[in-house]
Amino acid sequence: MKYLLVLGRTAALAFACALMHGGALAASKTPSAPGAVRSGAVSDPQGGVDATDDSASAAGLDMNAGAGASSQGDVADLMQLIHDGGLTEMRTTYNGGYGASMFFHATSMTFYVALFQDKHFWRVIRTSDQARAEAVYAGFARQTAQLAEVEIRRTQLQAQKASIERVIGESEARAQRLQADIEVARAQEAKVADYQRQTQDETLALRDEKEKAQAQLRVLQQQVLQLQRQAEAGLPSNR
C-alpha cells in the first residue's frame, strides 16, 4: 500500500513537468507579428533589443522636432511676425534709447513682450498668459527706466556743457568787442591828448603873439599920437 502511494506521487510529478516543458516549447515557437515590438523595448538595428521605452523614444522625437522648429529663437520669430504685419502693438514704453513693447498675435493667441535698445530687440518673452505678459512688460518698462538713467544724465550733462560753451563763446566774443572798443578808445584818447597838447601850445603861442601885438599896437598908437600932435602944432584945437 505504501509502495503504491509513492508510485502515484511520482507519476503526477512527471506529468506536471511534461506539461510545463510543452507549454514553454509552444511559447518559444509562437511567431511574432510583423513589426511588433514588445512594450518597454525598441528593436535594435542589429537584431537585439534596446531597453529604451518606445514612449520615451517618441517623446525624444517630439522634443527634437520642437527644438528644430524654434531654433531661430523668439527674437527672430518676433521680427518675422512684425515684418509680415501679423502683430498688434498693445503697449510701448520709451526711456531714452531703451524701450519695452507688448505685442499680440491674434492667430495663435500669443503675447510677445520685447525689450529693445535703439530699435534692436534685446530680449523677447513669448507667452499665452496675458497676466504674465503684463507682468513681464511692467518689469521690462521699469528696467528701461533704470537703464536709461545714465543715458538721460549724459544727455543732460551734454546739454549743460553745450550751454556753458555757448555762453563762453558769447562772453569771449563780447570781451573781444569790448577789447576792440577799448583799443579804439585808447587810440582816440591818444589822438585827443596829442591834439589837446598841440592846441594848448598853439594857444600859448597865440597868446604871446597877441600880447606882443598889443604891445606893438600901443607903441604905434603912441607914435601916431605924437606925430599927430606934431603935425597939428600951432593949429587951433578942435572944439
* 9: pLDDT strictly greater than 90: no
Least confident residue range of 9-18, 58-67, 135-144, 204-213:
58-67
Q: Tell me the pLDDT tens digit for each residue of 210-228.
A: 888 988 888 988 888 888 8
Structural domain boundaries enclosing 81: 73-148
Coil, strand or helix at 125: strand
If one counts the domains in the chain, the total is 1
Whether 48 is covered by a domain: the verdict is no
For the domain that residue 113 is a member of, what is the CATH number?
Answer: 3.10.450
Whether 81 is covered by a domain: the verdict is yes
Mean pLDDT of the chain: 74
Whether 97 is covered by a domain: the verdict is yes
Whether 86 is covered by a domain: the verdict is yes
Q: Where are the alpha helices (DSSP H) in 30-94?
A: 54-69, 73-84
pTM here?
0.44
The residue whose grid cell reads 528701461 is: 144
Whether 23 is covered by a domain: the verdict is no
Contact 114, 103 (CB under 8 A): yes
- Take residue 13 and report the three cell numbers written for it: 510529478
Whether 192 is covered by a domain: the verdict is no
Residues 79 and 81: their CA atoms lie apart, in Å, by: 5
The residue whose grid cell reads 504674465 is: 132
Whether 119 is covered by a domain: the verdict is yes
Q: What percent of the chain has pLDDT over 70?
A: 69
